[in-house]
Amino acid sequence: MKEKCGFTLLEMIVTVAILFVLLTILMPTMSGFASSANDQISDANLELLNFATHSYASFHEIENRDIFENISEDDARQQLLVSDGLIEQAVKPTGEGGYCWNIKEQKWILWKTDRTAAGCGGKYEPTSNPDGSLTPDVVKTPEPTTYPSAKPLPTYIPSAYQKACEASAGKFDIVNEICSCPDGYVLEKEITIDGEKKKVCVTAEQYLCETSGGSYDSSKTPACSCTGELILNQQENMCVYDSVTASRKKCVADGGEWIEENGNGYCKYKDDQPFYIDEDNPNFVYAAKQLGSGDPIDFSVLNDIESLESLKEKKANLSIGSYFHYQGNVYRVHNYSYKLDDSTNLSEFVKGNNLFNISKPEYSNNKAYFVNEYVLYNGTWYMPKDQGGGVSSTPAQGGQWQECGTNLDDFNENNSCKLK
């Protein structure tokens, strides 16, 4: 039989000892190679960050201030470069630590254990350059850097929205693509870019003028001008509806004659037409129904409405819900009855809060309104809800008013406003 061959205990101990010595010699060298490679990658990333930041400053013509002004986090600073297409993604060193922005020297640095000691953050302190600018030299004229394996950096081109925002005195947030406005401006001017609606800044004064129907020209005094049935308010910064002008135009268009007496104006129609019947005014529709008209509406029943002068001669008692006409306007008694006599001053009587002028239904803030009285406010008809003492609040406040619509067709769809 052959003898079995193997390692003796002594041979095994010697072999293990030799391997241990070899590993002890090789490990520092291998570790050094790995550390050197990591350092080279970290340094290359650092140069890339500084080059991209310089490009960003050049594209945006940033001088005399911190390049990343109003951005306090390093991650947000890198994200800004990503959004501009200057780096593909945020970068980090391969070893410990990270990259931080040195505000004083306006450059990125690598920190490993202590951010503060490395010089992260700080305060911006501009220095004078040979060309007279105050931007630090390290950012203004950086050393040329070559990246053998890097792709060419794209040329930054501001978006059309950014250009429009900045042209309107706004400040554009590249990361979030948001336009913000300074004091005295509002983000309300609509523009169209590539078929998409965007908003840019406009002065609050111009916005107020134009949204009220006026035309704005800053070179004129006042800058806001109004046309048609609109006139400037007392502050001369917006247009308001001129009911007198509107009534005068409507009077002439309907064949009447506008009369000015004692500071007041009214429309005088031919003898057989003492007042104008506006068939699109729901108050005339309601009056016709109250005076006996069926369906369809027969507005001729309104010709039976007596004049206030005639009623005064009769010393008539004006009951709640009764109608009369005076100087081209039709009135409805809406609160309490009134006894006319020889001492009644008719021009003062029609100014009282006990009457509703259905010919001029525009809302007035010094009057009270009652149910079945249709009030026109900003082009929309409203009717007071059933309040015993009347309603004087603005229709836009809503709580005491029922919104009826902009034309009579809307009334038929709204049971609360349906003309009865």
Mean pLDDT taken over the chain: 82
- Both tokens of residue 333? 């008694």
Distance of CA 97 to the CA centre of its chain: 44
Residues 132 and 196 in one domain: no
Which of the pair, 201 or 124, is modelled with greater confidence? 201
Kindly state the percentage of the chain with pLDDT values over 90. 25
- Residue that is last in its domain, among 106, 140, 174: 140
- Does any domain span residue 255? no
Section 109-120 average pLDDT: 83
- Does any domain span residue 13? no
Residues 329 and 296 in one domain: yes
Residues 398 and 348 in one domain: yes
Residues 299 and 406 in one domain: yes
Section 393-418 average pLDDT: 79
Q: What is the pLDDT of residue 141?
A: 45
> What angle in degrees, to the nearest 10, is found between the helix axes of 74-83 and 9-59?
70
- Does any domain span residue 15? no
Find the Cα–Cα–Cα–Cα dihedral 131, 133, 139, 144, rounded to 10°: -20
Q: What is the pLDDT of residue 331?
A: 95
- Does any domain span residue 121? yes
Which of the pair, 143 or 101, is modelled with greater confidence? 101
Residues 208 and 166 in one domain: yes
* pLDDT of 33 higher than 50: no
Nearest-angstrom CA–CA distance, 370 and 207:
36
Q: What is the pLDDT of residue 145?
A: 47
Range of the domain at 335: 274-412
Task: Please identify which residue in the block is written with the tokens 């490009």.
Answer: 55
Tens of pLDDT, residues 321-349: 999 999 889 999 987 889 999 999 999 99
- Does any domain span residue 257? no
Section 269-273 average pLDDT: 62
Task: Residue 275: count other Cβ atoms within 10 Å of its Cβ.
Answer: 23
Q: What is the pLDDT of residue 306?
A: 92
Residues 282 and 228 in one domain: no
- Does any domain span residue 298? yes
How many angstroms separate the Cα of 249 from the Cα of each of 252, 266, 349, 378? 5, 11, 26, 19
Coil, helix or strand at residue 308: helix
Residues 75 and 46 in one domain: yes
Pick from 110-124, 157-171, 391-405 the range whose average pLDDT is largest: 157-171
Q: What is the pLDDT of residue 30?
A: 54
Write out the DSSP string of 158-226: --HHHHHHHHTT-EEETTTTEEE--TTEEEEEEEEETTEEEEEEEEHHHHHHHHTT-EE-TTSSSSEE-
Nearest residue to 74 (alpha-carbon basis) of 140, 126, 119? 119
Residues 294 and 407 in one domain: yes
Residues forming a β-bridge with 240: 231
Nearest residue to 104 (alpha-carbon basis) of 119, 123, 131, 83? 123
Q: What is the pLDDT of residue 142?
A: 45
Residues 135 and 197 in one domain: no
| Burial environment of residue 170 by CB neighbours within 10 A (0 to 12, 13 to 18, 19 or more) | buried
- Residue that is last in its domain, among 190, 218, 240: 240
Q: How many domains does the chain have?
A: 3
- Does any domain span residue 7? no
Q: How confident is the model at residue 182 (pLDDT cuts 50, 70, 90)?
A: very high
Could you tell me if 67 and 56 are in contact, meaning their C-beta atoms sit under 8 angstroms apart?
yes
pTM for the full model? Answer: 0.41
Least confident of 47-56, 270-279, 297-306: 270-279
Nearest-angstrom CA–CA distance, 55 and 105:
16
Q: What is the pLDDT of residue 181?
A: 94
Residues forming a β-bridge with 179: 172
- Residue that is last in its domain, among 111, 140, 169: 140
CA angle 72, 75, 81 (to 5 degrees): 100
Write out the DSSP string of 19-63: HHHHHHHHHHHHHHHHHHHHHHHHHHHHHHHHHHHHHHHHHTT--
Q: How confident is the model at residue 387 (pLDDT cuts 50, 70, 90)?
A: low
* pLDDT of 147 higher than 50: no
Residues 125 and 218 in one domain: no
Residues 321 and 383 in one domain: yes
- Does any domain span residue 80? yes
Residues 179 and 218 in one domain: yes
